[in-house]
């Protein structure tokens, strides 16, 4: 197991990465300051089949009383209706201000459970227990929580740091192949924006990663989270440096919204967004054509899509792009690559972005 701390003053919290950590959920949660007693165990219908009983048993051994709350699997659960259902369940389970939520699942469960924790009774504790590669390498860390609006992804949310992150890489064994591969997009992102050596490691180890070698996966998850933690501790609220973590996400989020949530998995949309951002980086950021091609090849080797679909030319895509959180009065603050391992932000007009792919 690898353990390190995200240093955020009073909101500092431990991160644990390893195999079979589900069996220590109760102990690790208590060590993080979670009060024994009722805890809302929030998960989705897919994860529940594999891990809810095991997680509940581990919590009971730690002195907790788990109240299982299962939401439908999929992006559609990041909605105000499902959030309301969670509130109703927590009220019925008599979760009070000293209670907590344990979010067991992928990015949807983490975002939804985290936002429920941020808003219920003006804020209760949450422990993030990511079970997908996307969540383990990225979304579980940083305190971003929220739900989608029909017009844009993650439009409603709050920053709410977890009390602990417990990433059991053993849960990746049961992850469907498509969902496993989408998680590689976020890991590749960290190499692209911050660490060229990590990108080389991914190129070298990709076959072992795809074979789900747990030792290599533990190292990959820990490396990704350490890189993200370095950014988050320097810029928790995305006022500056943290914006580089949105590499590939501007176009990716617009694709998800315009195509309809669920058409693309999040990592698939981000992969397309990174390939598109590489093209824009060659034009506006200084990235060499060779390095741009290298990034796209790695995404393709990982089995991820890299081509902009015809649907992006629709008014829905342009409208979604204009709703991006990084929008400015006359354009958007876009994350580009200066070189592999070095990201920069540039103000681009919406017309500049679309023109690169229509000319």
Around Cβ 72, how many Cβ atoms within 10 Å?
A: 13
- Residue 35 phi/psi, 5-degree rounding, is -75, 130
- Residue 263 phi/psi, 5-degree rounding, is -65, -45
Which of the residues are catalytic? 122, 144, 186, 228, 238, 242, 246, 249, 253, 266
- Residue 203 phi/psi, 5-degree rounding, is -60, -40
User: How far is 226 from 229, CA to CA, in rounded Å?
Assistant: 5
Question: Token digits for 47?
Answer: 């994860």
Question: Token digits for 257?
Answer: 């919204």
Angle of helix 266-284 relative to helix 177-194, nearest 10 degrees, comes to 30
The position carrying tokens 């709350």 is 69
Pairing type for strands 65-71 and 100-105 reads: unpaired
User: How far is 118 from 128, CA to CA, in rounded Å?
Assistant: 13
Enclosing H/E stretch for 111:
helix 107-119
Around Cβ 15, how many Cβ atoms within 10 Å?
A: 23
Enclosing H/E stretch for 342:
strand 342-348
Q: How far is CA 105 from CA 8, 22, 44, 131, 146, in A?
A: 24, 12, 7, 5, 15
User: How far is 231 from 33, CA to CA, in rounded Å?
Assistant: 25
Could you give the 3-state DSSP secondary structure of residue 303? coil
Question: Token digits for 101?
Answer: 């939520």
């Amino acid at each position: 197991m690898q353990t390190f701390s995200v240093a955020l003053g009073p909101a500092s919290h431990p991160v644990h990465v390893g195999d079979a950590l589900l069996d220590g959920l109760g102990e690790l949660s208590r060590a993080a300051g979670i009060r024994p007693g009722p805890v809302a165990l929030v998960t989705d219908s897919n994860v529940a089949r594999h891990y809810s009983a095991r997680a509940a048993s581990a919590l009971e051994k730690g002195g907790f009383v788990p109240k299982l709350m299962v939401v439908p699997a999929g992006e559609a659960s990041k909605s105000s209706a499902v959030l309301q259902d969670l509130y109703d369940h927590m009220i019925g389970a008599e979760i009070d201000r000293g209670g907590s939520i344990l979010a067991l699942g992928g990015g949807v469960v983490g975002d939804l459970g985290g936002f429920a924790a941020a808003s219920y009774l003006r804020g209760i504790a949450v422990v993030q227990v990511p079970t997908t590669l996307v969540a383990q390498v990225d979304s579980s860390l940083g305190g971003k929580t929220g739900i989608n609006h029909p017009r844009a992804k993650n439009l409603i949310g709050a920053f709410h740091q977890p009390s602990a992150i417990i990433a059991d890489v053993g849960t990746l064994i049961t992850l469907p192949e498509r969902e496993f591969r989408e998680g590689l997009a976020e890991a590749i992102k960290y190499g692209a924006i911050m660490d060229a050596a990590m990108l080389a490691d991914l190129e070298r180890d990709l076959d072992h990663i795809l074979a789900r070698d747990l030792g290599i996966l533990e190292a990959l998850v820990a490396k990704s989270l350490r890189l993200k933690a370095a950014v988050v501790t320097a810029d928790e609220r995305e006022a500056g440096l943290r914006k580089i973590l949105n590499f590939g996400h501007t176009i990716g989020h617009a694709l998800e919204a315009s195509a309809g949530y669920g058409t693309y998995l999040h990592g698939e949309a981000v992969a397309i967004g990174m390939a598109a951002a590489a093209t824009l980086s060659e034009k506006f950021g200084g990235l060499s054509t060779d390095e741009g091609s290298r990034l796209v090849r790695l995404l393709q080797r990982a089995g991820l899509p890299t081509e902009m679909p015809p649907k992006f030319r629709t008014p829905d895509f342009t409208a979604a792009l204009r709703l991006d959180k990084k929008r400015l009065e006359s354009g958007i603050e876009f994350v580009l690559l200066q070189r592999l391992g070095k990201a920069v932000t540039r103000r681009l007009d919406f017309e500049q972005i679309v023109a690169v792919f229509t000319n």
